[in-house]
Amino acid sequence: MRSRVLAALGVSAAAPALAGCSGETSGTPSAAAGTPAPSPSSSNTTGSAPDSSTAGTADTTSAGGFTQQGTKLKLGQKAVVPFKSEGHTGSIGVTVKSIDKGTEADLAPLDLGVKAKGMTPYYVRVTVSNESGADFSYTSLGLMNALLPDGSQAQGVSVIGTFDKCDSGDAGKDFTTKGATFESCVLALAGPGTSVTGAEYDESSYQDQAPDTDYGDKPITWQS
């Protein structure tokens, strides 16, 4: 039996930061799709993390130890940001590892229609880590957007279901200890003549924990 995937196009003003309960993204209608395609090959990578000698946590931190708003990072560098879920508070790490270029044919299973014609998918691959050891089980990646070369947001795609080329993922039951990680992916589209070259984290829900970290006002950004 073929699996069912729901997908929708939308400007990614609310595309994949961590959400406290589910992996849903908001603000777009749904459309049906078919069986997901296999993962993209490494030959289509447009940007990737530096080697271990240059990657690491950003050293631009606020008084509370969180990465400052407006910080600019390279792929492979980790931002540490406040987070809470189901009454638990602490911090998580967000590391954009790579930005992989796909092909228009990748989008066929999502049945996005004529609006996606001529568009190229990009897969922003992210590692999320538990930095404080709080119980953040079953959290998922939320307010993160892909960026075009001019700094504007790429068009986002919300997917409900399994799309193997870019699985949004969630933390699972074991995301409860310091150092635990899970992998996530942000799906975005670029039109002819442009490409996705960066990403931004713009969550602004946790200012009660860290008043000086309004990432919605000044996002943390990564560039390839």
pTM value?
0.77
Spell out the residues 6+ positions from residue 49 whose beta carbon is closer than 8 angstroms to its own. Answer: 55, 75, 76, 95, 96, 97, 98
20 or 94, which is more confident: 94
pLDDT in tens, 100-156: 999 999 999 998 988 899 999 999 999 999 999 999 999 987 689 999 999 999 999
213 or 188, which is more confident: 188
**Residue 207 has what pLDDT?**
85
Q: What is the CATH number of the domain that holds 125?
A: 2.60.40.1240
Q: How far apart are CA 140 and CA 170, in angstroms?
A: 4
Q: Which of the residue ranges 8-12, 85-89, 180-184, 188-192 would you say has the lowest mean pLDDT?
A: 8-12
The number of distinct structural domains making up the chain is 1
Percentage of residues in the chain with pLDDT exceeding 90? Answer: 55
18 or 149, which is more confident: 149
Boundaries of domain holding 24: 5-223
55 or 179, which is more confident: 179
Spell out the residues 6+ positions from residue 121 whose beta carbon is closer than 8 angstroms to its own. Answer: 101, 102, 103, 104, 106, 107, 157, 165, 166, 187, 188, 189
